[in-house]
């Protein structure tokens, strides 16, 4: 097993985690701990390793070395047949939200619940609640192509939290959104956090990170270079970018 079992108070724990693709290190000896109820921004430039780290968190990727604990479960050792049951306790918003184009917003959210065995009555209840939470009541019968970018992202978030998971991870949820809409999405995620869920969001949007004033973990070339409990976009990343530009 290696290492003591992580208490459930700790939602996510990465211990000396490395991921290597061929000769290239996507992550190098990363240590990270996220506690119950935290809101964490994971920031870094494109290719820094944010998406790799997210894939580790929902078990789409296994670490080359180190330990990944999520909700008290050792993901690095979890059997494939056990993974779905862990994912039911997590909300996952992938970078490219695959709303199903032939289903309405309501059906998109219901689809996820039905796939994990909810009965129709529970589906109706959960979908209504979650639509109200993300503010998409009026768009419930609309098709994805009729939604704005922000509404589509809200629908993807609604689907992720429909099962009322204690942990929500969102990979670049503000990508391709204008500043106002980006802030609306972050505001929604912070609202979900205040209701009790632990939220981890990856982004490289400096404005929203500065404005939200939450814990910020900066990653660069596969290494965590700063971890600030409450702050803005890390100055270390700015310095690195400036060096690269020079």
How far apart, in whole angstroms, are the C-alpha atoms of residue 20 and residue 29?
A: 11
CB of 69 to other proteins, least distance (A): 18
Residues that bind other proteins (CB under 8 A): 58-60, 80-81, 83-90, 92, 94, 98, 100-101, 111-120, 159-160, 163
- DSSP secondary structure letters along 71-105: TTEETTT--TTTHHHHHTTEEEE-SS----TTS-H
Q: Which residue, 25 or 87, has its beta carbon nearer to other proteins?
A: 87
Give the SS3 label for residue 56. helix
Please report how close the Cβ of residue 106 comes to other proteins at its closest, in angstroms: 15
Nearest-angstrom CA–CA distance, 197 and 188: 12
Question: Nearer Cβ to other proteins, position 83 or 175?
Answer: 83
Residue with smaller CB distance to other proteins, 154 or 159: 159
Q: In the complex with other proteins, which residue's Cβ is closer, 128 or 225?
A: 128
Rounded to 5°, the CA angle 211-213-218 comes to 105
Closest distance to other proteins from the beta carbon of 153 (Å): 15
- Which alpha helices (DSSP H) does 98-148 contain, by range? 105-115, 120-134
Residue 120, token pair as written in the block: 């129709």
Least distance CB 99 / other proteins (angstroms)? 8
Nearer to other proteins, 120 or 187 (CB): 120
Going by C-alpha positions, the residue among 143, 156, 177, 14 that lies closest to residue 94 is: 156
For the bound state, the minimum distance from the C-beta of residue 51 to other proteins, rounded and expressed in Å, comes to 14
User: In which residue are the tokens 């982004």 written?
Assistant: 203
């Amino acid at each position: 097993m290696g290492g003591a079992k992580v208490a459930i108070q700790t939602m996510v724990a990465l211990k000396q985690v490395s991921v290597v693709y061929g000769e290239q290190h996507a992550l190098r000896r990363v240590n990270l701990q996220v506690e119950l109820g935290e809101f964490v921004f994971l920031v870094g430039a494109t290719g820094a390793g944010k998406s790799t780290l997210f894939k580790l968190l929902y078990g789409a990727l296994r670490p080359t070395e180190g330990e990944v604990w999520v909700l008290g479960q050792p993901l690095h050792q979890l059997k494939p047949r056990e993974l779905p049951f862990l994912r039911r306790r997590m909300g996952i918003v992938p970078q490219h939200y695959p709303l199903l184009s032939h289903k309405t917003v309501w059906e998109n959210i219901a689809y996820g619940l039905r796939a994990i065995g909810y009965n129709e009555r529970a589906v109706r209840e959960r979908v209504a609640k979650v639509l109200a939470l993300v503010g998409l009541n009026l768009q419930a019968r609309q098709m994805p192509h009729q939604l704005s970018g922000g509404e589509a992202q809200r629908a993807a978030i609604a689907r992720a939290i429909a099962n009322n998971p204690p942990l929500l991870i969102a990979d670049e949820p503000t990508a391709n959104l204008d500043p106002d809409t980006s802030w609306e999405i972050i505001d929604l995620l912070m609202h979900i956090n205040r209701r009790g869920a632990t939220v981890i969001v990856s982004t490289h949007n400096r404005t929203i990170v500065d404005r939200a004033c939450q814990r910020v973990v900066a990653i660069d070339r596969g290494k965590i270079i700063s971890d600030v409990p409450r702050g803005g976009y890390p100055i270390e990343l700015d310095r690195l970018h400036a060096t690269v530009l020079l």
